[in-house]
């Protein structure tokens, strides 16, 4: 299985008229990726319910929309994010419960319509995830979340990512081309293409190959993380300021990168091994995200779907002056 970089569509919701716009975008995106008409209409209904909830309860928020193409079919992911006061998860999923005097059917309906559903809510706001799977969707249970946005005003993103998985082995790339715009995108695209040629090469060798591929570009920061279910070990190799962290039940560990610019100049790449991490959440992120965050400040979030983790980090810690990419992977889904 291979997954590769694509921008997250972000639809700002701050007026009732935005609900119709979100519904049309969801319908169009689902059709573009070949979902059956019944699934297209489910996606449209989910977009309507999610954004209506934002208008009713938060007044302002955003709908993140991402299509996941697969050889087996496609998935449309919808994620509603706001900054309103949170609510009790179990109470709000019961039909008839409402915090605004309405019929209280929104969240219960969303959970029933969606193929995948999850949410996280606290005093800082709420994030609700709903996915529609195509009929040929793989049943593989790897849980991955991606949030990727270009610098406001840019049509392309200078970051890139690529995830490859085969039986018991995962390899993940996050690349941050220097600067932003077309030249940064060219650097990130060169990294993605070179990585895709042999994603399971040893990480140091991968960095060297990416360095050659990016030598005619601006270059950039690179992070490669590889996990093997047996012997339950993650190897990380980074050059530049792509951040990385492993979050386990007891503690979090930062992943160490070396200084330099891949495709430009760096002294060396060095791989670091981390053992017994099968119950960890792996997060790699470009420097469009602030580094001073701690999921301990969000009780229970580390156990929710990684898409919620990525979206909430983006909501609360995006710098807003650069491209940003966040990739979160639940390593428990990589089976030997």
Q: What is the reported pLDDT for 69? A: 80
202-232 burial: b if 16+ Cβ within 10 Å, else e: ebeebbebbbebbeebbbbbbbbbbbbbeeb
CATH fit for domain 7-133, picks 3.40.1280.10, 3.40.605.10, 3.30.565.10, 3.40.50.620: 3.30.565.10
Q: What is the reported pLDDT for 105? A: 52
Q: What is the reported pLDDT for 101? A: 44
- Kindly report the CA angle at 125 between 121 and 129, in degrees rounded to 5? 55
pLDDT tens digits, 265-303: 999 999 999 999 999 999 999 999 999 999 999 999 999
Q: Any idea where the domains of the chain sit in the sequence?
A: 7-133, 143-333
pLDDT tens digits, 153-182: 898 999 999 999 998 999 999 999 999 999
Residues of the chain below pLDDT 50: 91, 96-104, 139
Question: Are the C-beta atoms of residues 157 and 141 closer than 8 Å to each other?
Answer: no
pTM for the model stands at 0.92
Q: What is the reported pLDDT for 102? A: 41
Q: Indicate the helix (H) or strand (E) that contains 204.
A: helix 203-213
Q: What is the reported pLDDT for 97? A: 45
CATH architecture of 143-333: 4-Layer Sandwich (3.60)
Q: What is the reported pLDDT for 310? A: 97
């Amino acid at each position: 299985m291979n997954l590769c970089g694509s921008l997250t569509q972000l639809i700002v919701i701050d007026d009732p008229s935005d609900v119709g716009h979100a519904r049309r975008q969801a319908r169009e995106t689902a059709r573009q990726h070949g979902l059956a008409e019944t699934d297209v209409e489910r996606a449209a209904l989910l977009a309507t319910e999610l954004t209506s909830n934002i208008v009713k309860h938060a007044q302002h928020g955003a709908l993140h929309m991402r299509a996941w193409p697969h050889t087996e079919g496609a998935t449309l992911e919808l994620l509603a994010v706001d900054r309103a006061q949170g609510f009790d998860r179990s109470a709000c999923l019961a039909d008839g419960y409402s915090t605004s005097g309405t019929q209280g059917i929104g969240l219960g309906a969303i959970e029933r319509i969606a193929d995948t559903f999850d949410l996280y809510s606290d005093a800082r706001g709420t994030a609700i995830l709903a996915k529609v799977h195509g009929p040929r969707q793989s049943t593989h249970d790897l849980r991955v979340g991606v949030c990727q946005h270009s610098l406001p005003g840019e049509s392309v993103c200078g970051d890139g990512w690529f995830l490859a998985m085969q039986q018991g082995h995962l390899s993940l790339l996050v690349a941050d081309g220097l600067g932003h715009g077309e030249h940064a995108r060219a650097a990130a695209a060169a990294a993605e293409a070179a990585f895709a040629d042999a994603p399971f090469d040893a990480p140091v060798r991968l960095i060297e190959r990416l360095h050659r591929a990016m030598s005619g570009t601006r270059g950039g920061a690179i992070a490669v993380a590889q996990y093997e279910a047996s012997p339950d070990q993650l190897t990380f190799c980074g050059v530049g300021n792509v951040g990385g962290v492993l979050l386990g039940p007891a503690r979090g560990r930062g992943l160490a990168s070396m200084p330099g610019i891949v495709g430009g100049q760096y002294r060396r790449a060095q791989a670091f091994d981390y053992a017994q991490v099968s119950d960890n959440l792996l997060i790699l992120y470009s420097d469009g995200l602030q580094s001073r965050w701690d999921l301990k400040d969000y009780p229970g979030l580390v156990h929710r779907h990684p898409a919620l983790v990525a979206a909430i980090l983006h909501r609360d810690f995006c710098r807003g002056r650069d491209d940003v990419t966040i990739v979160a992977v639940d390593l428990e889904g990589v089976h030997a």
